Amino acid sequence: MYYITTDVRAVVRLTKFVMRITKTKLCCRLQFWSNIVLSMQQILCSVKLSNIAYLDYAATTPCDPVVFEAMSPYFCGVFGNPNSMHHFGMVALDAVDAARIKVRTLINADFEEVVFTSGATEANKIATIRTMKSLNKTAGKRHFVTLATEHKSILDCTDYLKREGFDVTLLEVGSDGLLNLDHLTSVINDTTGLLSFCFVNSETGVMQDVKRIVATCHERGILVHADATQAFGKIPLDVKELDLDFLSASGHKVYGPKGIGVLYCKSVHARLVRTPGANRDVEFGIRSGTVPVPLCVGMGEAAKIAFSELSTNLTRIAALRERLIAGITGQLDEIYINGSSVHNYPGIVNISFRGCEGEAIMMEAKHIAVSSGSACTSNKLTISHVLEAMKIPVDIAQSSIRISIGKLTTEAEIDLAIEELVTATKKLRAISPVWDIIRSGSSVDDVFKRQGFR
């Protein structure tokens, strides 16, 4: 995606623009520099960073230049506080309302059900912690349920609720990463208030059976929150059809700005998450403070673009996934795709190169940007908690990396990734004692236990 070469046409456009705008006496200084920054951003968005293919779209995405352009006027020119009653405030409020409508359209929510937050992490905390505290106070429901494969932001909420004396259950999943509904049914009870789960797992791309999960919970009077950070703007999402109570999403995962997200809150549940004494004219009393107008505008524009490109992007990304997997498995053996091969978002591929370490592959494959599926913490080696919960064998789990494909990914970048990963794996396996043990047919479990892997 980004190479260090200069887009000459962009520079020419900037030069002509500067010459034109400096000749006019009507331009204000702030607007002048705002336009300069916008032009520079457009250049940077058309410039690529060395020969590195960016394949980490699940971590973050570049801000779409159209999104940036839509945001730009609200930093300097249209700078009003949307809480103000004068003209400047009204113009800013109109922009926020327009952005809310664009998000509402993407997920089929009502206007007042879309709440802007600082990101999915904050939305997750509002939906889980505030809801559980309210349900405990009003209905005596103090049992919170989530999956062992959840994102850290939800697991942090889980730890907090435990410390506050709530009952917490982490649900097990199968080796494919999917939740067994019989297991869910056996765990929930009359004190269960809320189930929270990832719509699409950020590490494996596994997509849960949302409709059946929601139906199972609602039959028992249990509310449901979906962390849709990796689903929002990428797959069709209809909160009314799915009958979700809460949903979280983040702007920077869908080519929008960082620092902005949304919480969908079904209108009948708004009372559960409102801040006591909050001004209901500001984000319906659910989030206080001055609304960041430029970020809201960016989030709305990103949602609008995602809505228009949804089907095209999904089809194209699925084809690139197949090209990637076929290209690697056609040249290497002992390759494993972690997670369900059927119920998944195609843009996230968690793949293991048995006999290698994920971090070593990343270091060797210098021309692609991907994420490791395993992690090192302090003095103890551990594997990903997601793969551990799926009971993936240690030697396979520690050899995993996450490749995530986006709308800007090209076939050439996929082919480069195949070449880099195949070459790196062959090189590392040639010097790997673990690979020798695997080829001999012996167990490698003892090797990893001695190295401190759990």
Q: How many Å separate Cα 44 from the centre of its chain?
A: 24
Among 306, 334, 354, the domain-final residue is: 306
- On whether residue 40 sits in a domain, the answer given is yes
CA-wise closest residue to 409 among 346, 338, 365: 346
**CATH, residue 276:** 3.40.640.10
- On whether residue 410 sits in a domain, the answer given is yes
- Mean residue pLDDT of the chain comes to 89
Residues 257-313 have pLDDT tens digits of 999 999 999 999 999 999 887 778 889 999 989 999 999 999 999 999 999 999 999
pTM of the model: 0.87
Rounded to 5°, the CA angle 210-216-217 comes to: 90
Q: Which of 190-194, 380-384, 425-429 has the lowest mean pLDDT?
A: 380-384
Q: 6: pLDDT confidence band, cut at 50, 70 and 90?
A: very low
Is residue 217 among the annotated active site residues?
no
Determine the average pLDDT of the residues in 191-220.
Answer: 98
Pairing assessment for the beta strands 192-198 and 143-147 based on DSSP bridges: parallel
- On whether residue 68 sits in a domain, the answer given is no
pLDDT score of 383: 86
- On whether residue 56 sits in a domain, the answer given is no
Residues 82-140 have pLDDT tens digits of 999 999 999 999 999 999 999 999 999 999 999 999 999 999 999 999 999 999 999 99
Q: How many Å separate Cα 29 from the centre of its chain?
A: 38
pLDDT score of 382: 73
Among 306, 321, 353, the domain-final residue is: 306
Enter the tokens of residue 31: 């607007």
Q: How many domains does the chain have?
A: 3
pLDDT score of 238: 98
- Is residue 362 domain-shared with residue 431, that is, in the same domain? yes
Q: 236: pLDDT confidence band, cut at 50, 70 and 90?
A: very high
pLDDT score of 443: 77
- On whether residue 133 sits in a domain, the answer given is yes
- Is residue 118 domain-shared with residue 205, that is, in the same domain? yes
* Domain residue limits at 7: 1-50
- Is residue 248 domain-shared with residue 169, that is, in the same domain? yes
**CATH, residue 408:** 3.90.1150.10
- On whether residue 80 sits in a domain, the answer given is no
- Is residue 153 domain-shared with residue 234, that is, in the same domain? yes
- Is residue 284 domain-shared with residue 324, that is, in the same domain? no
- Is residue 205 domain-shared with residue 259, that is, in the same domain? yes
Residues 17-57 have pLDDT tens digits of 444 544 444 445 555 555 655 555 555 554 455 589 999 99
- Is residue 404 domain-shared with residue 418, that is, in the same domain? yes
Residues 70-80 have pLDDT tens digits of 999 999 999 99
Q: pLDDT exceeding 70 applies to what percent of the chain?
A: 85
- On whether residue 66 sits in a domain, the answer given is no
- Is residue 96 domain-shared with residue 226, that is, in the same domain? yes
CA-wise closest residue to 172 among 194, 150, 147: 147
- Is residue 383 domain-shared with residue 245, that is, in the same domain? no
C-alpha to C-alpha distance for 345 and 172, rounded to whole angstroms:
21
pLDDT score of 380: 46
Determine the average pLDDT of the residues in 242-255.
Answer: 98
Distances (CA, A) of 363 to 118, 359, 372, 428: 33, 6, 10, 11
Q: How far is it between the farthest Cα atoms of the chain?
A: 80
Residues 405-449 have pLDDT tens digits of 999 999 999 999 999 999 999 999 999 999 999 998 887 766 666
Rounded to 5°, the CA angle 163-227-296 comes to: 110
- On whether residue 132 sits in a domain, the answer given is yes
- Is residue 116 domain-shared with residue 141, that is, in the same domain? yes
- Is residue 402 domain-shared with residue 258, that is, in the same domain? no
pLDDT score of 378: 31
Residues 309-355 have pLDDT tens digits of 999 999 999 999 999 999 999 999 999 999 999 999 999 999 999 99
pLDDT score of 146: 98
Distances (CA, A) of 375 to 194, 297, 399: 30, 36, 11
Task: Reply yes or no on whether the pLDDT at 244 is more than 80.
Answer: yes
- Is residue 140 domain-shared with residue 230, that is, in the same domain? yes
